[in-house]
Amino acid sequence: MDVDIRELETKEAYKLMTGSVIPRPIAWVSTANANGGFNLAPFSFFTVASRKPPMLCISIGPGVGEREGTVKDTLVNIREKQEFCINIVSSELGNPMQKSSENVGSDVDEFQLAGLKTAPSKKIDTPRIKEAPIAFELKLHQILELGTDHLIIGEIIHYHIKEDYYLGNYKVDIEKLKPLGRFAGGR
C-alpha cells in the first residue's frame, strides 16, 4: 500500500504516523501560569533538539474532543512565563501521569489532581514533579508554528536526577528508570 499522507484526513494521518514512529518517550511537562497556578500534562511528541547548547523539544497540538478549537494550557503558560520543566515518567508514575492528562479547566492544579507533590526548581520559578526520577529545567528558546501544531524548543538550564537512578560517569540506570513511552495513537 502506498499513501500520500498529505491527502488524508488529519485523524487518519495521525494514526499512521503515531503507529509507525514508536516508541515515543513521554515528556511530562510542568508549567506555571501568570497567576501562580500550576499545570501538568504529558506529551509524546518529544525528543532531543540539540546537544550544544543542550535543548529538548515538544510538539503541542490543538485541543481535541470537548476542547476542540482551544489552545492547551501548557502552550499558554510557556508563552507567558518563557520557561517549563520536562519530567521523565517512570513506570511507577503511569497512573498519576494518566490522571494528569484529563481534560480539566485551567483553574485545576493537575499536581493535586494526580496526587503528586511539587519540588522547587533551581533556576526557574516553575516547579518540577518531586516523585519524578529525572527532570529538566528549560528556558524557552523558540516556538515554531508547524501546521496545526506548535514546536516548543527549550534550552536545558538545569538537570535533576535522583541518586539511585544515576550509575556514575554521566549514565542513567535505564533498567531502574523503566521509562514509559507511547505506542500508536489514542484518537
Confidence of residue 141 (pLDDT cuts 50, 70, 90): very high
pLDDT digits (tens, 9 = 90+) for 66-118: 556 668 999 999 999 999 999 999 999 999 999 999 989 888 999 999 999 99
10-14, 99-103, 155-159, 162-166: range with lowest mean pLDDT: 10-14
Query: Any idea where the domains of the chain sit in the sequence?
Result: 24-182
| Residue-level pLDDT at 105 | 86
| Residue-level pLDDT at 66 | 56
| Residue-level pLDDT at 82 | 98
| Residue-level pLDDT at 68 | 62
**CATH of range 24-182; options 1.10.3470.10, 3.40.50.1370, 3.40.50.970, 2.30.110.10:** 2.30.110.10
Q: Name the residue with higher pLDDT: 163 or 10.
A: 163
Q: How far apart are CA 116 and CA 107, in angstroms?
A: 17
- CB count within 10 Å of CB 166 equals 15
| Residue-level pLDDT at 2 | 85
Q: Name the residue with higher pLDDT: 64 or 177.
A: 177
| Residue-level pLDDT at 19 | 84
| pLDDT surpasses 60 at 28 | yes
| Residue-level pLDDT at 94 | 95
Over residues 158-177, mean pLDDT: 96
| pLDDT surpasses 60 at 65 | no
| Residue-level pLDDT at 23 | 84
| pLDDT surpasses 60 at 187 | no
